[in-house]
Structure formats: C-alpha cells, structure tokens
Structure 1
Amino acid sequence: MNPLLAILITLITFAFMEFWAWFMHKYVQHGPLWVLHSSHHVRPSPRPFERNDWFFVIYGALSTALFLTGNNGQHWWFWVGVGIAAYGTVYFFVHDGLIHGRLPFWKKTDSVYLRALNMAHKMHHKTQGRDHSEEFGLLWVSPKYLRLARQQAARKAH
C-alpha cells in the first residue's frame, strides 16, 4: 500500500475515534452499557481493574483482528487498526494515566490544554449517576475549560 495513503487512513481513523468515543460514551456507556461503565464513576475505585476496562479490551481486540487480517499493511483495514491502537494508547496515557492517576509517574502538568482536559473530565464525573453528565469526549475540550485553564495559569504565574 502507498505509504501516504496508509498514513492518511491512520490519521483519519484516529480523528474519527474521538467522535466515536464521544458518541459511544454519551449514548451507549451512559445508556444501555451503563452496567459496565458505572464502575468508572465510583470513587475511589476499589480495584486496579474496573468493569469499564472491558471497553479497552473490546477495542484492543478489534484493532488486533484488523492487524492480523490486514496482511502486514497490504490491506487498508490494517491501517484502521493502527489508528484505533494509536487512539487507545493516547486514551490510556491521558485518561487513565494523567486524569485518573492510574500511572503514578504522571501526576501533574503545567500544560494549559491538559489542565483544561482534566477540568472538563472532572465536570463529567461531578454526577455519579448515568444521567446529567456533560463533557463526553477525550481529546476535544470545550473552549470554556481552555479559558478557565488559561486564567488559572495566568494567576499562578503572578
């Protein structure tokens, strides 16, 4: 496969995964699959693994299947699998590692964007039930949280 096409498919898949994650989070995880996702809204989590972690396993299995059947990059769906795996990796480090502190080496950041992301996620967890949550995405941050994070950084700098 043409390397530029492979990169394009990977990037489009990665970008699509942000929309897909938002959609699934809002309408499926806070809907019919709340039985799995609810474990993520319990604070603090009593175990290192939550029922919610099954979503990571599902997307990992999908990505793996695309890799295994993609003939080492000869088929376009191999690169879809790469995009899904890349998004899952970013998701793990940002969401589980930074925001929820499941990786002890990454506790604080001075990044305005990551602080805004953290604020938005805290707003999502403000309600522990399945209804009335907001901010369902991972990487896209509402402008209001970016403004708040910039204001917070400016106050800290003075």
Structure 2
Amino acid sequence: MSNNNCPLYAEDLEVGTRRHLGTYEVSEEEVLEFGRRWDDLPIHTCPSEAASGQFGGLIASGVHTMAMNQSVMSRHFISRLAIIAGKGIREMTLDHPVRPGDTLSSDVEIVSIELRDGRADLTTRVSMVNQEGQQVLDMTGVSVIRRRPQS
C-alpha cells in the first residue's frame, strides 16, 4: 500500500496485505458513558453491580468494542481508501471482555477484492487484542471502494 496522501483504489491493494492500525486506550469514564447512552446494562454502567457479576467488574459493551475498533480503522485505514461505503459484516466474535484500563491494538488484513465496473467489494478481517494478547474482537467486513479512474 502506498504511503502518500492519494486515495488508495482497489488496484492499489493486494490480498494478503496486513497492517497494524494502532492502539486505543479504554477509560472507565468512556465505558460508563457509552453504556448509559447505548447499552444500559449494569455490567456496562454500574461498577458495584458489575463487580459481583459474571465478569467480575465493569466491561465495555460489544457495540462499544466495535466502535473503538472503527475509530482506529477510520483514522489509519479507511480514511486512506477511495471509499464509497461500508457494505456489511460477514462475521464477528467477541472472545474476551474489554475492561477500563485496557490498551487495545488492531490489525487489518485484506482478504479479498472483488472487482466490478467502477468499484470493488473489499473484504477485510480485523483482529483487536488487549495488552495481554487476548483477542477481544475478530471481525470480517465488506466495504465498497472505487476502482482507479480510466485516463
């Protein structure tokens, strides 16, 4: 993949390419705020109740985990693409909970590029792990990107 500021078209990408996307620091304040707004369950919103629950403490919601990953993806990968839109998620697992204080690290791999007229379906697999190397998110998604314009 190119390192300049020009958008990356389907023809600029290669199946099998992997890229480290960076890290994300998870704060308790963010977990509580997101939970209260979008997933109002005690495991996401009430430290005292969460402490006696199945996970032994406050955890981020799965949707929040996806949003944290999207933040890293948007800044370090998607913003570089000649993106048209997201198309969907093919599969996703949340193998370990995300906790306040975690440092999450994301990597992306290009799985396939299906060329069409003027556009392509780009399938990527994202893996997000915590500071202990435990996988917290494994997701395969599809985006629609532009093909290089004909001269």
TM-score for the superposition, normalised by structure 2: 0.28
Bigger helix fraction = 1
Q: Give the number of the structure with larger relative contact order, counting CA–CA contacts within 8 Å between residues 6 or more apart.
A: 2
Bigger strand fraction = 2
